[in-house]
């Protein structure tokens, strides 16, 4: 008996680790996948503490967790679900763009925008996270 096709699969990446991820919200119940990017882990030498934090975030999401090279792992996940559409959220990462470009040769890619954490600012110093957070904190936790 042939496998039932899935309309879409959600790809969750490091810039969208949230239960309010627009791709997850737009596709409730759709199969979702996260891939621990072996190359990125080696290249960036991410600390164990950060890896644990990411893993704890993943435990709150309805995702299958995989490890390896991102594109082959997503392709395999797509094949397992007989899906042709990948829904994900935008990222400014050049690595994200390269992965999307490679996947778009085989699948339909739907990239949803991430809502801004804070409204646009006239001047926002992004050189230090603490400066950004001082602005964001006022919006997120108004008094």
- Tell whether 55 and 100 lie within a shared domain: yes
Local structure of residue 31 (DSSP, 8 states): -
Tens digit of each residue's pLDDT (9 = 90 or more) over 16-53: 899 999 999 999 999 999 999 988 888 888 889 989 99
Q: Are 122 and 60 part of one and the same domain?
A: no
Both 61 and 98 in one domain: the answer is yes
Average pLDDT score over the chain? 89
Going by pLDDT thresholds of 50, 70 and 90, the confidence category of residue 132 is confident
- List alpha helices for 81-118, DSSP H: 94-103
CA distances from 79 to 8, 26, 52, 74, 134 (A): 11, 21, 29, 9, 45
Res 4 pLDDT > 70 = no
Give the pLDDT score at 126. Answer: 64
Flag whether pLDDT at 124 surpasses 70: no
Are 46 and 104 contained in the same domain?
Answer: yes
Q: For residue 125, give its domain range.
A: 116-143
Residues 71-85: what's their mean pLDDT?
A: 96
Long-range pairs for 135-141: beta carbons < 8 A, 24 or more residues apart: none
- Position 77 scores a pLDDT of 97
């Amino acid at each position: 008996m042939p496998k039932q096709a899935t309309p879409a699969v959600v790809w969750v990446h490091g810039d969208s680790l949230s239960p309010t991820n627009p791709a997850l919200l737009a596709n409730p119940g759709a199969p979702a996948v996260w891939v621990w990017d072996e190359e990125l882990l080696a290249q960036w030498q991410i600390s164990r503490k950060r890896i644990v934090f990411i893993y704890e975030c993943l435990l709150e999401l309805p995702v299958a967790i995989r490890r390896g090279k991102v594109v082959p792992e997503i392709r395999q996940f797509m094949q397992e679900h007989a899906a042709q559409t990948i829904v994900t959220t935008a990222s400014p990462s050049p690595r994200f763009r390269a992965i999307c470009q490679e996947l778009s040769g085989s699948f339909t890619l739907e990239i949803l925008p991430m809502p801004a954490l804070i409204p646009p600012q006239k001047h926002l110093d992004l050189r230090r996270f603490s400066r950004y957070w001082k602005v964001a904190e006022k919006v997120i936790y108004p008094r």
